[in-house]
């Protein structure tokens, strides 16, 4: 009888301990969610105040937007292109960054240019932008204007806000919440944005 009572008490203690651990885990999860919401709100408020304080809009020369970051642990300047459907890097730059890429037999078609072979695909490449860290894929393709581009393939993967007027990139994501400055670079002329792979539409600046 005494043994049975002790067994019930032990079971009750184990159950109570398990409930406490579950409550603690839920509390930590809720805290993490609250912190994430706070970071999102803080970034949104920052951009709102910056927009209100911005100078009156003026006509600017045609410019491209770039962001400084790290690809595979190497410092690089990356073009920000919301008109590009995928991320691109030239073969030369991919080798400089020691990116491992697999061959690809797709054909690349650029506006006003003949089809050419795609060099390959570099999957899950480490990328750092300010306080954000994560991974993304890069298609290795021939380009003669820019050597590395972040397109919609990346912007679909993370929560980010691009403000060309404020020259800011705000990231609110699991990989980190931060505001990264954008760099404007004047264009020397008008460039079309369109690259196409067989059975897959892909766009990028230049040809």
Domain boundaries in the chain?
62-157+194-198
Name every residue whose Cβ is closer than 8 Å to that of residue 172 and which is 6 or more positions away in sequence.
36, 39, 40, 43, 159, 160, 161
Pairing status of strand 148-150 against strand 88-89: antiparallel
Whether residue 172 is predicted with pLDDT greater than 80 in this model: the reply is yes
Whether residue 181 is predicted with pLDDT greater than 80 in this model: the reply is yes
Q: Where are the beta strands (DSSP E) in the chain?
A: 63-71, 74-80, 88-89, 107-110, 116-117, 120-129, 132-140, 148-150, 160-163, 168-173, 176-181, 183-186, 193-197, 200-205
Q: What pLDDT was estimated at residue 93?
A: 97
Query: pLDDT tens digit string along 74-90?
Result: 999 999 988 787 899 99
Q: In this structure, what token pair is assigned to residue 189?
A: 């002329």
Query: pLDDT tens digit string along 114-141?
Result: 777 788 999 999 999 999 999 999 999 8
Q: What pLDDT was estimated at residue 165?
A: 87
Percent of the chain with pLDDT over 90: 35
Q: What pLDDT was estimated at residue 40?
A: 53
In the predicted model, what is the mean pLDDT of the chain? 75
Whether residue 39 is predicted with pLDDT greater than 80 in this model: the reply is no
Residue scoring higher pLDDT (31 or 162): 162
Q: Are 124 and 187 contacting, i.e. CB atoms less than 8 angstroms apart?
A: no
Cα–Cα dist 169/100, whole Å: 28
Q: What pLDDT was estimated at residue 43?
A: 56
Q: Going by CATH, does the domain composed of 62-157+194-198 fall within 3.40.50.920?
A: no
Q: What pLDDT was estimated at residue 65?
A: 94
Cα–Cα dist 28/98, whole Å: 39
């Amino acid at each position: 009888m005494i043994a049975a009572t002790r067994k019930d008490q032990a079971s009750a203690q184990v159950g109570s301990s398990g409930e406490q651990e579950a409550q603690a885990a839920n509390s930590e999860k809720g805290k993490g969610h609250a912190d994430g919401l706070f970071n999102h709100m803080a970034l949104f408020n920052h951009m709102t105040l910056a927009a209100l304080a911005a100078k009156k809009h003026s006509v600017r020369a045609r410019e491209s937007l770039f962001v400084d970051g790290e690809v595979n642990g190497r410092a690089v300047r990356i073009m920000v292109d919301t008109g590009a459907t995928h991320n691109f890097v030239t073969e030369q730059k991919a080798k400089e960054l020691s990116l491992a890429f697999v061959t690809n037999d797709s054909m690349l078609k650029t506006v006003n240019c003949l089809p050419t072979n795609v060099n390959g695909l570099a999957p899950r490449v480490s990328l750092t932008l300010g306080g954000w860290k994560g991974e993304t894929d890069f298609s290795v393709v021939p380009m003669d204007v820019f050597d590395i581009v972040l397109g919609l393939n990346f912007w679909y993967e993370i929560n980010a806000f691009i403000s060309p007027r404020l020259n800011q990139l705000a990231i609110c994501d699991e990989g980190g919440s931060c505001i990264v400055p954008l760099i404007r670079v004047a264009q020397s002329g008008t460039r079309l944005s369109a690259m196409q792979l067989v059975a897959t539409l892909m766009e990028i600046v230049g040809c």
